[in-house]
Each structure stands twice: as C-alpha cells, then as structure tokens.
Structure 1
C-alpha cells in the first residue's frame, strides 16, 4: 500500500506508537460492541427462560383442569396470567379453544398466521421458543409447548410477551465503564508502545548513524548489539561483521595501492641505477674520455655487469609474475627433501666455509617424502640459505631441519645472524621491501628473492613465515604437502 506524503515523513517510532494506538482503539470499539451485544443477548435469554417457566406452569394448570373436566375443553374455566401476555390454546386438531391478548391489543392478534408454524410444531410434540417473526402483528418473544394427558397429545399452548430491553441508565453505566476502561487501556498502550518503540528504534537509530558515517569514509564505525538475540541483535552483528569486512578490504586496498606505488618507485630506482651507470660509461667510451686499452676493457666489463644486473631483475620479475598468476608449470612428484638439502649445502659450503659459517642438517632418517617440484624447491632452499649466509657473521651457524605436522612437512632454516627488527619482520616477503637493517641494504639482491620464495611455496599449497630476535638470529619456516602413501 502506498503511503501518503504526510505519513512517510513520520519517524518509525511515531508510526509504531500510532499503529499500537489504532489497534487499542479498535479493540475498545470491538469490546464495546461485543459487550452491548452480549448484554442484549443475555436479557433476551433471561426473558425467554422466564417465559418458558410461565408457559410450563400454565400448561400444567390447563392439563389438570382438562382432566378434572373430563376431557371437555368447553367446560374449562379459562383464566390467564395477568400482565402483558398473549395466551392461545388449541386442541389436538388445531382448533382455537381460548385466546387472551395483552391489554390494549385487538383480539385479531389471536388469529395471526405467524403463530401457525409454532403451533404446528407443538402439535407434533416439539416445543419452540424465541423471537416472534417479523411478519407477526405484535413484536416480542414467545413459547409454544404441546399439552399432554397421560402421554396423549391434547393440544398446544402459545404464550407471547413483549421483549424488554436494558434500560438507558443501565446501558449508560455500561458505556461509561467501557469508556473508562478504554481510556485506561489507551494510556497503558501509549506508555507500552513508547517503551517498546524506543527499544526497537534505538538500535536502528544507532545503525543509521553508523551507516551514514561508514558511507562518509569512517570505516571504524561499530554498533553495540542489543542484549536480546532477536532480529535487531542479529542485524547489529551482521552490520559489525560487514563493517569489519569493509574496513579490512579498504585497508587491504590502501595497502596494495601503497605497495603498487612502492613497487613502481623501487623498479624505477633499481632500473635507474644500472641505466645511469651504463649511460655514463657508454658516453665516456663514445667520447674517448677513456683511452687506455685496459681502462676501456674494464669499463666494458662494468657495463656488461650492469646489464646482467638488469637482466636478473627482469628475470626475477617475470618469474614471480608467472608463479603468482598460475602460468608457471610445477612438475610435482614425490621427492626426498633431505637429498635436496644435502645438494644445497654442498653448493653453499664453499662460500660459507670462506665466511667462517657452519652449515648443519637436522633431518631425521625417516623424514617422509613431499609432493613438490624439485627445481623450484631447490631454488627456495638456495635463496634462503644464501640470504642467511649474507647476514650471519663469522663463527655463526645455519641449520636446516624438517618434521611432519599433519598432512604437511614443516621445514626451517635457522641462523645465528643479526636478526630482523620487529618493524621490518611483517614485510620481508613483500616485493622490493628494503630497510637499512639486518636483512636489507646493499647486499646485491634484486629485492625480489623472498617474494619469489613465498610465491613458490604458495603455489605448492604451503605457507611461509619468519620469526626473529634482533642480535640472536632468524628462523624462516615453510610447509610443503606430504606425498601420498604408497600402498
């Protein structure tokens, strides 16, 4: 139903109060009508019962006289009950034996055909009573009873009387009581509706205010859910959950946008440095600033080294993009990780020995196989061990171990290096993340090594993380899925 403009401007609280008030007033009206009808019906029932008792008394008296007069209707001394009654007696053949109309009523009322149906039913042994039909010459109530003598039907008695209605004073008292009750009920309903409307609308008002602020960009808005776990309580909880999701998504978008800007800035910086060197050396060669053959050869080697640096940077970016987009193919097969670790330590041992660093494997003899790409996992191990080597001082130790946990194999690379500052630790797997601390600086990397490692582990369905204590060392853990058991 379409709301009128005036109604649409009302607050929800006002609408609730008005609706409850309308229901209360409607209930009072229905109650008043029901009470009046009930009173009238009660009065009618009482009068009919009184008339039936009167008719039964008269019928018994007529029957007794009929017996005394030896079944002769004509010898009966007729006497009716004084008052506004109509008495009509017929014999078994429906011949009228006696009729006494009420005072000030014409005797033609005795021949009213409206009585015929009731008399006919009485002569068939059935008592009838109620209001006189509308077609009757007089208005009121009646009772029509059969007359018996020793079980033999001898006639019928028809008694009619005017219907009495409740007095105006009585109805006035009833209406006054209904009015007072209605007023009290209205006051109670208004108070109750105000309380209930306030309880219902307060959470909605809080939600509206919070939603407006949320729309304006304040994503920290939350509402206090009502104690009752009803629809409003669930709505408040749903709103808070939605606000949590929106805030997290917006923060993530902002973080990604910042990462994108940092990525562009880092790429530009990492490209600019070798390009500037290449440009300077190339111009020096072209302008014959460097003329000595040995110096020209050294300059050419510097240019080649900077080009290789650019190629590594581009290759790392392409590799990471390929892995993250799912385009890189993983040649998954059951493999013994301890073998890959031994190969990695063999490759890294000369550099670590030269740096005074001890390498140690901590693998159990029964370490289960993993389902992984051998080349990719080797790349991960080499990257992590080399990263640990570059930040572990002489006399330090780098250890590699693994243990099964559920359906995954947890692998760790632990060093006794300088550690990572807690501020930098959450960001070490981000692209080009750099800080002038233990794991960053001018170490010669592209800034993508740990990002590539994370992309490879994620592509295998594993996870990677790091813990570190500055001055004591760092532990990087990653997981790989176990290979299915061979039956």
Structure 2
C-alpha cells in the first residue's frame, strides 16, 4: 500500500506539473497571437496602420488584463540603443519581475528566437516575443509575454505535500485496522500451532480439530492430511526395517544351519560351501540394493549429461541379451540427444530386462526400445510372459514386495529391483509406467522429460 500511495502521489504531481507547462505554453501562444492580429488590424480609431511601434504597443497594452504571474511588456529601442518599456500593471509575487530586470529584458529583446526560457537566480521566466520592425530594418520594438512558473509550481508542490500527508495518515489508519483484523484472523492459526506442537514422533495419532469451512479449517484439514501421510511413512519405515531384517535373517540362518551340520565328507563340504556362497552372494546383493536405495535421497544420485538415446538403447539391448535365452528384439530407437544419467538409465533398463527374463520361459519374446512421445522420451521393456495381476500392480514398485506370477528362473531377488527402477526414474523427474503387452505380457516404460542437451561451442 505504501508503494501504491507513493506511485499515486508522484504520478499526480507529474500530471499537475505537465498541466502547468501546457497551460503556460497555451497562454504564451494566445497572447502573442492576439498581438499579431491586433497589429495587422491597424489603429482601431482610424483603421489606418499604426504610425509608430510605441503607439501600437501602448494601444494594445491598454486593452489587456494580465493573469496572475504574467507580465505584458512592450520594449522600444531608443536612438542611443537603450531600451524603454511600456507595460500593463499586474499582480506579480516574485523576487525580481521582468520589468525590473534590465539584463533579462536585453537578453530577450536581442534573442533571435520567438519563445524561450530564461534561467535566473531570482527565478525562471518563460517568454514569447513578437518583434515590430519597419520593412527591411532591424526590429526597433517588441511585444513580450513573460510568465513566472515558480508560483504555479510551488502550488503544485503544496498539493503534493498535502497528498503525502493524507496518504501517510491513511496508511497509519489502514495499518492499525489491518493489525487488529490480522490478529483476529490468525488467532485460529495459533490454536493450530499449539495443537501441532503437542504432536510428537512417538504419537502421530493426534489430529487438529476442524471447525467451520473457512481457510483455517482448510489449513487444519491439510495439516491432518500431512499427519496421515507422516504416520503412513513412519509405518512404512518400520515395515521396511522389519522386512530388511527378515530378508537378511533368512540367509544368515541358512548359512549357520549348513555350517553347523557340515560333516567331513568332501562332497558334502563342497555342496555346503556352494550353498553358503550362494546365500552370501544373495545377502551381498540385498545390502548393495539397500545402499543404492539409500543413495536415492542424495542430490547427486543422478548426474545428467548429454547422451544419445539411440546409443543407450542399443547398449541396453546388447547387455540384456546375455541375461537369458530369449527371443530378444530391438523394436525401435529414438534418435535424439537428451540430458540424462547414462549409467543410471542403463541400470534401470537392465533391471527391467532381468525382471522380464524371470517372468518368461526360454524362447519367449522380449522387446526393448525407445521412442519420443510429445515432450517425453519413453524407454521400454515388453515381455510376453503371464503379465502382472491387477492386485500386484499397486505393490510391485514397493521395497521387498514381489508379484505372484513369477515364472522361469527361481526368484532369488529381495524385491528391491523395481523399487530401484522407480527411484532412478523419479531422480530424472520422470516415472515408471506399467501396462499390458498386446498379445499378453507386461510392458515397463521409463517416461522421462525430453531435456535437449546444450549446444557445444568449438574453441
């Protein structure tokens, strides 16, 4: 409001100053035009041309009534080069009027211009001049209209100061009213704050009471919704810890059990070592996946760089072919360059390919491809397996959750693969999408925003 009031007052002052300047210009033009017309009309008494410049100036000035702060002066050059003046008395409230300033009169009379501004320490003068001269001779007289703008400008400044005072008083009144009203409005917010302070990490079941349907009630509902999400997040965290403990406890139990019953038979020892090594490898993969998922919270988890999507797709296809004896097909490639993390996207696509292998039998088709769809780049892996049950579609991207329709190789994973894929997609501000493959199967698609790579400048 302060800025608005200042803008209004300064704009008003500017308009008033401009109006003063325009009024002065119109007045000078009007007075000069009236004198020129009077001169052309001749002596009103006889109708003949004026006999002398002095008589012309005298007759014209007698018929004029100057405005306030305006001077009408007739200047006549004498035989000795000096100037004599005729003027119509006016109400002038300036320190040094023009008719008392000989230097100013001389400068205006000698000026080749018909209008101008005279800057003096005693105050500015805006003037217009109409010269009177015999044919072919130097001007021997001139009619001068002089206006002193300083009083007008002081009146504008007085109006400006009055507006500032009124605006200041209005601002103080508005501030006081706003302070009282804001206090009443924010009182329910303080109630919400006190209630929120009583909610602790150990007790997330408390909720803020909601009264009415105003903005504060909406705030309380939003806060309660946030608490619901926090409670769900803490529950998921506890579930995650429990699941992680269970997943790690199982291979440890298996290793311990085999070691405890291991005998001296070399064949039995070899089999035990193989089983123990397999379980230790599985536990190592679980730990690595957990560490990777922990890194997804870091800002440097994804480091986008200019990358060729076609090259990335082909690279994924070559690596995926070693995962199992399937009918691998490179469906299509998007020949574009985009900002993405080549290694992370490759990791996600290979994980999707591994997931497709686990849900298909040898000889079944798995298609890998990439395409540009509007403002997005889509990289997908489509298998021809049994597909994903609708009930599983909601949970398979969660940690330690597996689908029920698993075929092919035995499921040795911990249910973290698709969670990692989801984290990589979200790290690129994208998403992973699940859909049915035409003819049967599941299609997993990474949907990424097509961020064009910056142009390289050769040096």
Give the structure-1-normalised TM-score.
0.47
Computing the radius of gyration over CA atoms, which structure comes out larger, 1 or 2? Answer: 1
Give the structure-2-normalised TM-score.
0.49
